[in-house]
């Protein structure tokens, strides 16, 4: 493997994900390439919010995006532990269909005390996001 493509934090992201019971309940996983991470939420019946139209629950999508944002902050920082969220704003843009969901997060600002992060989730087409969040995390080392 090309060592330049390998982020030593990548294995830690995987370990954190496995240790968080709620991430396991969701059933998400992450692919990390360097400082780029794609989160994957494989479809499961339990993620449905509306059985009539078979749409994913907004809360499940928001949970997935919040975890993705948190892990991205961890990935690009030198924090010993994942950061704690301060707030999150979710835009529900399109219906989440009964299929796999993907997400990527961007750290817009890494401050000394706070990080501002944006994350988007999509299905077929990355240009047509299902939902987007803006979240703030505490990144102070104390």
Binding site for other proteins (CB under 8 A): 19-26, 45-52, 56-60, 62-64, 66-67, 81, 84-92
- Compare residues 62 and 107 and give the one whose CB is closer to other proteins: 62
The minimum distance between CB 63 and other proteins, in angstroms, equals: 3
Distance CA(33)–CA(140), nearest Å, equals 26
Query: What's the min distance (Å) between Cβ of 34 and other proteins?
Result: 26
d(CA 11, CA 85): 22
Q: Give the phi and the psi of residue 112 in degrees, each rounded to 5.
A: -75, -30
DSSP 8-state class, residue 3: G
Distance of closest approach, residue 32 Cβ to other proteins, in angstroms = 20
Measured in Å, how far apart are the chain's first and last C-alpha atoms? 36
Residue 84 or 113: which CB sits closer to other proteins?
84
């Amino acid at each position: 493997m090309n060592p330049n493509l390998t982020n030593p934090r990548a294995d830690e992201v995987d370990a954190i994900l496995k240790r968080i019971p709620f991430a396991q309940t969701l059933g998400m996983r992450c692919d990390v390439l360097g400082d780029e991470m794609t989160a994957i939420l494989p479809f499961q019946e339990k993620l449905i919010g509306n059985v009539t139209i078979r749409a994913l629950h907004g809360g499940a999508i928001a949970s997935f995006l919040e975890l993705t944002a948190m892990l991205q902050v961890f990935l690009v920082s030198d924090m010993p532990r994942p950061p704690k969220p301060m707030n999150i704003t979710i835009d529900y843009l399109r219906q989440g269909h009964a299929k796999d969901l993907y997400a990527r997060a961007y750290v817009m600002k890494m401050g000394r005390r706070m990080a501002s992060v944006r994350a988007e989730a999509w299905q077929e087409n990355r240009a047509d996001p299902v939902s987007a969040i803006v979240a703030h995390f505490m990144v102070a080392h104390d």
